[in-house]
Structure 1
């Protein structure tokens, strides 16, 4: 833990850096003095635009999966994204606080976290405007200890500094370039909203969405106010209609749908 003088001097050093990447790089180095962190990524979720990554510390291979692939649509299943829609109260939250009960066993986790060797994540949540929200994620690789409560509390003391740096980066980004109309994600969001339409009942589509997000049968039953046995019947029926036998097959169909092959993949799945 830093002494007060060191803390003050290091904060001044961070905030004196130019807004954007230089300041965020200094911020990440400063946060590493408070807690063990393997990777950082800052996403801004603005209205119907696809997520914008303002900063990350991934390798090129990791960026391909966790940023490029993520931005094509799988972000719609991310607990941090879901928590920001509508806005989460500003502060520091762990993935374990926000994720569904079976998230760590879900196909989404296996594909977008486990594949990169990541196992733990906390996020600084910030509301930049009524429809724009930012999350700075701090990630630990597999094998590390989880973030303990005292670490989270120490990170909470850094909220004002993180907020200042992230807001400055966002303002600098807006001045540099206006986001293109092509960057809107209406098609992906509509594909997600319509996933399974025409093959599945409305209730089955609700079950699909919750399964993809990482909810167990019990959690789905509680959310939909039905029995776990009824959830299992719905799951069996929707698997048969979609021509799949597992959640990995369900995730594969979902990814096809949000990438523009929604009609073909789902129609063929039912045959």
Structure 2
């Protein structure tokens, strides 16, 4: 078997990345390498866990080089509605994931999609996940203003073993010298329930809070019923009671309450 010049260039670049595992510019070098094979417009490296808010290890510069206010909203609480975050918590695993695989049925109709995703990520997203232990997932996310093509997705699937191996080998250096300590994440139910009680004087049940969050993430009544192991009719009853207690009539109003609860 003969190697092409492209094969040789790829292996050479991977070798250089291995040499740079302990260097501050590792993530930039990795993203530049991926950019030679797949077109994307934004990227971020995150650590997901259930007990902490997402920790950012590296990200593409915002407009003007400063922090992106929309992304700060994400870190303050919108991540709880992120399809990739939800998928990583429901079934933690290593691999390559495309938005179309993890997004709920009505994701593009949600307030989260309209107010955050399409403005910050714009059109499409893929994520390479390295499962570090039972709770922590190291993620490299790539966002694009265009839909990723079948060829791009196939190529990323092909090279994912190299990329994920590099993510795993890089992690000890991040743990030794984190840029900042991640903030503990109050359980979303507790946080939302306290805020709702303060804002509306309403006491929601655990099940109503579960239904509300899944609604906001874009899940249909059937998806919510399957995730919570209840009937579709029970989902509708919980939704009706929740709306009545909060004095609202739409998901838009529910999303506004959610934002206030997260301080976003």
Alignment TM class, shorter chain as reference: 0.7 to 0.9
Shift of 1:245: 2.4
Count of paired positions? 254
Q: Which residue of 1 aligns with 2:107?
A: 103
1:34 aligns with 2:34: no
Give the match's secondary structure for 1:34.
coil
Q: Where does the alignment leave 5 or more consecutive residues of structure 2 unmatched?
A: none
**1:56 maps to which of 44, 56, 59:** 59
The answer to whether the Cα contact below 8 Å between 1:38 and 1:138 also exists between their aligned partners in 2 is yes
Q: Which runs of 4+ in 1 moved over 6 A?
A: none
CA distance in 2 between counterparts of 1:186 and 1:37 reads 33
1:23 aligns with 2:23: no
CA distance in 1 between counterparts of 2:78 and 2:85 reads 10
* C-alpha RMSD over aligned residues: 2.9
**1:8 maps to which of 4, 7, 11:** 11
Q: What are the residue-to-residue correspondences of 1:103-122 with 2, within 5 Å? A: 103-116=107-120, 118-122=122-126
Q: What are the residue-to-residue correspondences of 1:1-271 with 2, within 5 Å? A: 3-19=6-22, 21-59=24-62, 60=65, 63-66=68-71, 68-116=72-120, 118-141=122-145, 144=146, 146-177=147-178, 180=181, 183-186=183-186, 190-192=190-192, 199-223=203-227, 224-227=229-232, 231-259=235-263
What does the per-residue CA deviation read over 1:68-119, in whole Å, with 9 as the maximum and x for residues that have no partner? 2211111111111112215532111101101111111111112221122611
| Range with greater deviation from structure 2 (148-157 or 12-21) | 12-21
The answer to whether the Cα contact below 8 Å between 1:14 and 1:23 also exists between their aligned partners in 2 is yes
Shift of 1:213: 1.6
| Range with greater deviation from structure 2 (197-206 or 36-45) | 197-206
CA distance in 2 between counterparts of 1:188 and 1:205 reads 9
Give the match's secondary structure for 1:50.
coil
CA distance in 2 between counterparts of 1:46 and 1:20 reads 25
CA distance in 2 between counterparts of 1:187 and 1:232 reads 24
Q: Where does the alignment leave 5 or more consecutive residues of structure 1 unmatched?
A: 261-271
* TM-score (structure 1 length as normaliser): 0.81
* TM-score (structure 2 length as normaliser): 0.83
